[in-house]
């Protein structure tokens, strides 16, 4: 794949649940190494669009490509890291932080292979990148919600993805965990040349680092830089309530 080929691409994509349209004529591209946020009010179709982009749903119109091919035909699934919306760890799960993160390495390592030094290094690196090294042997059920979310991020990072997709990963997470979350994403982009697509209406933690913000309400109503959004009278970092209020007013 050419370095200029979008890692994700949707061309005039639409999708409906029965008679209820969820995504309407969306065209979107995410470039390599790009940090892109997808935002919109509740029910705007963000999660549905993600599922279309990842090949979990098929569009009723238009086309989707991931790494230049139909997302269902991406052979190396380790190239994609995905943290779905409100994905929580079961409270009775006996696994430690390191064991959960190691499970994310299987897509690249292969379940039939013995773990190699390179695999162990990637797992340790993923845990360190979300600042959980001191808790690596701790059962995940003993962690806070913010810490568990960082475990799930580390699990996705362990496969060393070229594309990381996150659906509302910091909803209800404390400010300290949000800052650590931001740092882990920047590490992935800068040190591993990955692209990140972040779905959230809470963008204050990453406002200064975003390359692009896409706002949708079934269709795309804004696609530009954070600075261009500020020109519309919406701030992302200083007044974190501005974006949600603006989104709810969108027609």
Residue 239 pLDDT class (50, 70, 90 cuts): very low
Domain residues for the domain of 206 are 8-249
Residue 2 lies in a domain: no
The 10 Å Cβ neighbour count of residue 109 is 21
Summarize pLDDT for 139-161 with one digit per residue, the tens: 988 888 778 888 888 888 888 88
The candidate with the shortest Cα–Cα distance to 31, out of 61, 63, 5, is: 5
Residue 3 lies in a domain: no
Q: Is the pTM above the cut of 0.95?
A: no
Residue 1 lies in a domain: no
Residue 192 lies in a domain: yes
Specify the CATH number for the domain of residue 161: 3.40.50.300
Residue 100 lies in a domain: yes
Number of domains into which the chain is organized: 1
Residue 134 lies in a domain: yes
Summarize pLDDT for 47-105 with one digit per residue, the tens: 899 999 999 999 999 999 999 899 988 888 778 888 877 555 666 678 899 999 998 88
Q: Could you tell me if 211 and 225 are in contact, meaning their C-beta atoms sit under 8 angstroms apart?
A: yes
* Structure-block tokens of residue 217: 């309400």
């Amino acid at each position: 794949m050419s370095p200029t080929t979008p890692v994700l691409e949707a061309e005039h994509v639409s999708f409906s649940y029965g008679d209820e349209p969820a995504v309407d004529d969306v065209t979107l591209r995410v470039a390599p190494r790009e940090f892109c946020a997808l935002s919109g009010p509740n029910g705007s179709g963000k999660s549905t669009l993600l599922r279309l982009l990842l090949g979990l749903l098929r569009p009723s119109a238009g086309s989707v490509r991931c790494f230049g091919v139909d997302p269902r035909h991406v052979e190396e699934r380790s190239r994609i890291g995905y943290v779905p919306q409100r994905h929580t760890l079961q409270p009775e799960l006996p696994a430690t932080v390191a064991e959960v993160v190691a499970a994310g390495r299987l897509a690249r390592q292969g379940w039939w292979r013995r773990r190699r030094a390179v695999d162990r290094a990637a797992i340790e690196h993923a845990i360190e990148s979300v600042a959980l090294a001191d808790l690596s042997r701790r059962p995940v059920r003993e962690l806070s919600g913010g810490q568990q979310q960082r475990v799930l991020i580390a699990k996705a990072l362990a496969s060393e993805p070229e594309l990381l997709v996150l659906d509302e990963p910091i909803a209800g997470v404390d400010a300290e965990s949000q800052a650590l979350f931001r740092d882990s994403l920047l590490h992935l982009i800068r040190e591993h040349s990955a692209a990140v697509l972040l779905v959230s209406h809470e963008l204050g933690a990453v406002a200064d680092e975003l390359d692009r913000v896409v706002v949708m309400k079934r269709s795309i109503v804004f696609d530009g830089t954070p600075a261009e959004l500020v020109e519309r009278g919406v701030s992302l970092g200083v007044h974190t309530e501005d974006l949600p209020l603006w989104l709810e007013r969108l027609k």
